[in-house]
Structures are given as C-alpha cells and as structure tokens.
A and B are shown apart, each in its own frame.
Chain A
Amino acid sequence: MTTTHTEDSVSTAQPASSFRITFSRAQQKFPILQLLLIVVVLILAFVTLPGFGSYYSIISVLVLAALVGITAIGQTVVVLTGGFDLSVPGFIVLGAVSVSTIIGQLQLGPLGAVVMMLLVPALLGGAAGWLCHRFQISPIVMTLAMNSIALGIAAVATDGSVAASAPDWLRGLSVPVGTTFGLPVPPIIVIWVGIGVLVTLVLALTPAGRRLYATGANMRAADNALIRTRWVWVAVYAFSAIASMVAGALLLGFAGGADLTLGNPYLFLGLAAVIVGGTVAGGPGDYIKTVIGAVLITLVSTVFIGNGFTPADRQILLGVIILVAMLVYGRERSLRDRV
C-alpha cells in the first residue's frame, strides 16, 4: 500500500487569516479594490475640481472613458490569450484615415467601406496572430511590426499629411450634450455599452469564449483538449485590429480631425485600463474589469489634469500605475522554481 505524501497532506504553516482568504476570493471574481478606488477618486474630484458633479461633467468623463474602453476591447481579448497588442495605435490611425479620406478617395460605396473597415484589419491582424502561433514569435514584436504597417498604409494613403476633418454625423456621436433616441446620453456611450455587453456575453457564455480562455490559460492543455489554438490566435488578433479600426473612426469624430499620432496615447491608456482592471495575461479576466479600469484611469486622469498636471504627467503616472498593478497581478516564477 502506498502512502506517499501528496498535495492532500495536511500540516502546513499557519493558514492565512480568513478575512484575507474571503477578500482575495471576492477580489478574483469582482474588482472590489478598483471600485473602492473609483469612489475615492470621485470624492477627490468633487473636492478639488470646481463644477465637478454636474450631470454633464460626469457624462464628459464617461465619454472619455468610452473612448479608452472601446480602444481597450481588443487589448483585453489579446491579453486574455497571453499576449500584448502594440498595433492598437496604428489601426486607430488607419481607422480614422479610412473614414475621413480613403473611403472617399477610392469612391468606395457602403459595401466597400465595410470591406475596408473589416476585412483589411482582419487580414492584417489575423496574419499577425497566425505567424506568431505558427513560428512562436513574441506577439509584442510582431504587433510592433504590424503597427508600423498599419500606420504606413495610412501614411501612404494620405501622403503623410494631416487628414481631413471628420464628417458632422461622426462628430455628433461623442458630444456630451448629444442624445440617443431621446435618451440624454451621447451615442458613443450607448455604443460602448452595447459593444461591451456583446463582448462580455461572448466571452462568458459561448463555447468560443470558453476556448479563448482555455487557450490563454494553458495553450498546451488547450491543444490536448482538441481546441484549435492557432485559429483562436488568428481570431483574437484579427478582432483586436478591427476593434482598433472602429475605435479610430470614433476617435476621429471625437477629436474632429486626425493625424498620424492620433492613436499614440491610447496604447498606454488601453493597456492601463486592462491591467488596472485586473485582467491578467493569460487570464483570468473579462471586459467588465476593463470597463472599470477605464473609468478609474479616466477619473484619475481628469483629477490629475484638472489639478494642473500636464498630459505628460498623466503618462508618467499611468506608467507607474501599470507597474504597480503588474506587481499585484503578474509576477513571474522565480529562478529557483524553474530549475
């Protein structure tokens, strides 16, 4: 009879306090810490920013959060599979330029526009995902290359010069006083909510979402479980590229115009939203966490800038926040445990 000691054996060091256990269990399921921080920052905002608290000031923050949130959809899904997508800025610019210039230039009808906005990023992103999986290339460097390609296409299309400004209907989507079918909420927020619900649903409740999580959690086990992980990667990176294109179009409306640097802040803003929200590379995580993360960092940005700090300061702060969040969620195994 074998009586080998196994993981079932008892007698370990003193157990962690029960509060800590319940808290970390709850925190895993729902980002309590982040919500608390939102409350804290909201209070800070009320106190330090004059005029904050009016309906439209809140809506303005939500509009900004929506922009970050939409650009972070693709990033969320990519991070869930264990990668990082650095091509977000490039596709944002390509999306903006497509709407403002390319579609007009090439005289594409509605069908052509759809092809441009969906097929081009799908092919580029999908190719990146396929190549990374097939050749075991780090997604960070490949998406860095893809970023350059997307940006390059936009640059070639506009000859490197500033793109024309946005059509009025597009601008109307993100005006704070805008309304959607009578509701006193600008359309962009409704769009955000809609896309967010859809993405969350697919991730949580469909077999495809389940396979995505499995691929991110343990690719080898996913292969063994007969999941076609290569196609998961293709789909994920294609989706991220499409999402960034769409986000770019919406950003065009918000900003009123676009140049090649339009997408740059949204790389770290989107990544910060995902990481601060609590999604870990490879899972667990979901889009709701990213939404909360987006709201939190937008609020932090607003308070920061409202109190006289510059966008540059905000960038520094967010870099620090990303580091801190990674320390909580994403440390690697020590060398001892890898020998």
Chain B
Amino acid sequence: MPEPGVETQPVPTDVQLVIPVESAVAQKTAASSSRIHVSGLCKSYGQTVALVDADFDLRRGEVHALVGENGSGKSTIVKVLSGIQLPDGGTATVDGAPYPVGSPRASIAAGVATVFQEVLSVGPMSVVDNLWLGADGVFSKKVDRASRRRRAQEILAELLEVAPDLDAPIEELGLSDRQACSIARALLRDPKVLILDEATSALDHGTRERLFRRVRLLTAGGAGVIIISHRMDEIEDIADRVTVLRSGRTVAVHERNGWTPGQLVSEMTGVDREVRQKIQTRDHSLGPVVLGAYQMALGPHSSPFELEFRAGEIVGLAGLEGHGQDLFLRALWGDRVHAGSIVKTDGERRDSIRNRRDASQHHIAYVPRERRDESTFGSMSILENFALVTISRDTRAGLISRKASRSRFAKFIRDMRIKMGRDSDRLSTLSGGNQQKVVVARWLSADPDVLLLNDPTRGIDINAKRDLYEMLGTVTSAGMCVVMLSSDVDEQLELMDRVVVFRDETVERTFSREDVTRESLVAAFFGEDMRA
C-alpha cells in the first residue's frame, strides 16, 4: 500500500527558477481560486460523442490528475484546452476570464502550455530551435540569441542532467530526450497552466523524477498542472486531486489520499460490485501445442522467455501500454522485432515463422490494432471488405461472383450478429463494433489455425464485444487457437483461459482462469505481487 502523504522536496538552491515572479503573491492568495474551470463541456466528432457533460477544475498551485479509459474523453478535454479542437458546448474559464478556444496560439498566449503523448518535434531542426518553437512572430525574433541558448541550456540541464548538444538536429536524440525537449518547450513559456497528456510514458525514470521536481516547483509558484496518466504510481506520487472521466462525463473527483487504485479502476470502468456470471464455462479440453515462442527477447536488455499456445485455447496478453505485449503479438505474426524463434506445429511438422508470408502460409491470421489505419477500407463496400483476403474462392471463370461472397458472408452476419444495411454500402457506414466484426470475419473466413487479435474490442460497445466473445468461443471449441492482446481488464477476466502479463518487455506472470482476479492482475501490471 502506498505511503500516505508525499513529502515535498526542498527547493534546490542551485537551480535557476523559471517560474513567474507572482509566486509570492500566489502564496498569499488562498489556493481556492481556480486557474481553469470547465463546466458541462461537450464535443462530438461526427457521429462519435467524446464529451457529454464534462466538468473540471484546476486550482492554483495544484497538480490535478485526469484519469479514464480509452474513449472516456480525457484526451478531448486536453485538445479543447490546448486549442486544437473547438468544443460544441459548455463553459470554460482561465483565471476567471473566458477561455480562448480553438487556437493553440491563443491558449499559449493565455498561459496554457501542453505537452502531448505523441512526441512532437521538428526532426531536422536543432534542439535549441525546437525548444523555442512558437516564441517568435512570423518575421520578428522575440528572444535574443544569447538568452535563447542560455535558458535552453538551463532547462535541459535541469531535466536531463546532461544537456544535449543545442545545435544537434533533434531527430538524433532518443525518444525520451526528445520528449523531454517537448516538455522543456512548454516550460520555457513560463506557463500558468502546464498540461501533460500522457507525456511521461516516453520518459526514462531519471528524467521523470527530475520533471516531477520541476512540477512541484511550478505549483509552489502558483501555476497549475494537469497530468493525464495511466500509471497509478505516478498519480499517487504527484497528484493533489484526481478527476475520473467515464463515457465523456466526470464521475468523480478525489482529494489526495482519498482513493485507491481499485476504486479508480471501478469508477473508470463503471463496474458495479455484484459478481457477474462469466460469459461461458470453458471446459473443453485443449489440443496440442500449435504455436510456440522460444528464447524470446524483445529488447536488448530484456529477460528471455518462452510461451506455448495450444489448439482450443484463448490466451490473453496484458500489461501497461508499451511493455512488450504488442511487440510479442506482432512477432507471432512474423514481424522480426525480436531475438528468438517462433515455431508453428502442424502434427508432425515444425516450421519456423520468419516473416508474414510464412505466417499466412501456416494459417496464422492477424487482426491489427488500429482499425482505420491498418484494417479497413472505408471507401469500399462491406462485402468487399469481408471477402478481400479470400476473394479467390469466389471466382467463377476468373470473374468474381458476388453471390458466392454473399453466401460465405451470410454465415458470419448471422453468427456474429453484424448489423448493417445493404452489403454494398460503404464500410464506413457501419458502427465501429460492426466494422470490427467484418474485419474479424474476414480473417476467420481464411480458416486459420491461429488467430492473433491486437486489442480488437477497444472503443466498441458492449453488445458487439459480447458477439465477438461468442464467436471466439465457438471457433476455439472447434480447435482454433486464439491469442488476444487486450487493454480491458474485464475482458481478460471473462474470456481467457490464460492471461500472460508483460512488464518491461518480458513475461511478468501468467495467470490461469481459476486464479486470476482483478486486483492481482492489475497489481501484476505494476510488478506487485498480490498473492495472498
């Protein structure tokens, strides 16, 4: 259990403070006045509703964490506050004045600096120029050369201990250093509000610590900091308050020490505390091993591991974002992102899978994560999207027979309850859940032995999920092996025969269906052992 109360670090005297002079005044004023106040915010992207009725309050001098699942709306709030997106409704103020919406320039001028999860930098440009992006006018230089270099040097030394070469192109730096530069860019604007949108995920441990030290200095001076993070340890460490979003609404606001990780998780996911019936009893026996990964090392410093998958199994891959489960799944598909070997077993034959062609020839199918970028052809019809990979089965004398595709598709429409108009409509007319069903049907129609799925139910409504689960249950009963990466804890609990938790690019722990619980699973993500 985390220690209550985090001691504030003493202010180091050798660090040049880059905070506004108003600090003394700020400390006199009560910490009750808001830096930012948002009420009833709404935002939709076409058909997708991102925010329905979101409230948020940021006090002077506080670090406020914003948490929620994917699709909860937290990133949308950030995009509205940073000026990237225009809200559809609601009110927002900054320091009591109306919030200047719709333009990043206006937000920055109002003192709100944002650092995004995606590392935004201009590759060929030098480090110092990257740090000062946006500080000049179109023609006028607003900061003299000496100051630019001096302040850049200072802030980088503070964040990175060893400042990189100011004139090096930023693309030559590693990911963590580049993100630190993006953060430095925000800090150099002397912000009244600093927003860190999952900005710490790319940072290495030392930089993160130094960043938090700077964050505490900022808030001591009266600035407010909004932090979006999935990492409970971070939130416990730094957050004075936590706001939980779910489905575009604010569902809870907690003060420091007024919450536990489990409570946050349940507020994020809306799980009520009743015991739920698991969707199916999975009691069919498992077949032989069909796919194996041996002496797997996903990175130069990670511990090797070994995993085997059997016919009829559903195996879940779990863990915090970026801890290797995505790499591993793609390695199973033949992408060479690893050291070690992938072996497909077919009765007596054991074949090495070295690339995607091997994978498809050995009946391994893969459903990618980003539906829009990696799977769907929005401008093509639903039927075409379904039949694409197996289209040669529908040809009569070299020409495609729509009737043949239709009859093959009918089975999947029925079994997966795909809701659609005409199959000649564009795929983009379908809801996300139904689009995903079509994609899964596409691969199922290829009769794979192994089906790999990369977070297939993210952002999909519950009924569509249930339909997919049912389908997976059916195919595994018939002997297919399913390996599924999932960022949904409930899904892991409900669906899987086994859950493999990844941490730091290696297998942290494997749970069987019987002994997995929410607490132990989430704890394993953080490397804590909750075997009790």
Hey, which bits of chain A sit against chain B, CB under 8 A?
A: 1-9, 11-13, 28, 201, 205-207, 210-211, 213-214, 217-218, 220-222, 224-227, 280, 282-284, 336, 339
Contact = CB atoms under 8 A, between A and B. Distances in A.
B49 interface: yes
A210 B401 CA distance: 12
B69 to A, nearest CB: 6
A210 B400 CA distance: 9
A97 B371 CA distance: 49
Given A1-B276, A7-B432, A210 B459 contact: no
A297 B164 CA distance: 59
B12 interface: no
A5 B73 CA distance: 9
Nearest to B357: A226
Nearest to B118: A339
A6 B48 contact: yes
Nearest to B442: A225
A213 B426 CA distance: 13
A43 B85 CA distance: 48
Contact of A205 (B387, B399, B433): B399
B270 A3 contact: yes
A5 B368 contact: no
B49 A5 contact: yes
A8 B436 CA distance: 13
B398 A206 contact: yes
B391 A210 contact: yes
A214 B388 contact: yes
A296 to B, nearest CB: 23
Given A210-B388, A221-B373, A6 B460 contact: yes
26 contacts: A2-B488, A2-B490, A4-B69, A4-B71, A5-B48, A6-B460, A7-B47, A7-B431, A7-B433, A8-B431, A12-B46, A12-B49, A205-B400, A207-B392, A210-B384, A210-B400, A214-B377, A214-B388, A221-B368, A221-B373, A222-B377, A225-B388, A226-B360, A226-B389, A227-B388, A284-B380
Interface in B28-87: 44, 46-50, 52, 69-73, 79, 84-85
Interface in B239-257: 246-248
Contact of A11 (B49, B461, B464): B49
Contact of B52 (A5, A205, A221): A5
A206 B49 contact: no
A5 B375 CA distance: 22
Contact of B399 (A7, A206, A224, A280): A206
B116 interface: yes
Given A4-B69, A220-B373, A207 B395 contact: yes
Contact of B379 (A13, A283, A336): A283
B21 interface: no
A79 to B, nearest CB: 13
B272 interface: yes
Nearest to A5: B247
A213 B380 contact: yes
B374 interface: yes
A226 B443 CA distance: 11
B462 interface: yes
Given A7-B47, A12-B44, A224-B366, A2 B360 contact: no
A221 B374 contact: yes
A5 B432 CA distance: 11
A4 B246 contact: yes
Nearest to A209: B400
B262 interface: no
Given A206-B398, A207-B395, A210-B388, A2 B432 contact: no
A217 B427 CA distance: 12
A280 B375 CA distance: 20
